[in-house]
């Protein structure tokens, strides 16, 4: 079993070391604008999806703190 693991490790290492050489041999073309904009849109959607819950939580916390402050003010006045 150990020999099989070593064999697969060596094959994977060789395949990964050959990958940059294969990529360099392929001619580079100008990427299409659609693909670039689609990728940037996807990145923007991921960022928005991560930030919106944070903003919502901050807004809810601010409202609850304001309500507590008003309640405390009412108790101090009476």
Identify the residue whose tokens are 């601010």.
62
Question: Is the torsion defined by CA of 57, 61, 67, 70 positive or negative?
Answer: negative
pLDDT on residue 29: 67
- Half-sphere exposure in the Cβ direction for 38 (13 Å, CA): 5
What is the model's pTM? 0.44
Inform me whether the pLDDT recorded for 27 exceeds 80.
no
Mean pLDDT of 26-40: 77
Query: CB neighbours of 47 closer than 8 A, spacing ≥ 6?
Result: none
DSSP letters along 1-36, please? -HHHHHHHHHHHHHHHHHHHHHHHHSPP-PPPHHHH
Mean pLDDT rounded to a whole number for the chain: 80
Mean pLDDT of 8-17: 71
């Amino acid at each position: 079993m150990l020999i099989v693991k070593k064999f697969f490790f060596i094959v994977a290492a060789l395949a990964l070391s050959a990958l940059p050489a294969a990529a360099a041999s392929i001619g580079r073309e100008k990427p299409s604008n659609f693909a670039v904009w689609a990728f940037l849109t996807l990145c923007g959607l991921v960022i928005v999806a991560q930030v919106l819950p944070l903003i919502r939580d901050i807004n809810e916390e601010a409202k609850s703190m304001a309500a507590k402050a008003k309640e405390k003010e009412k108790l101090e006045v009476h």
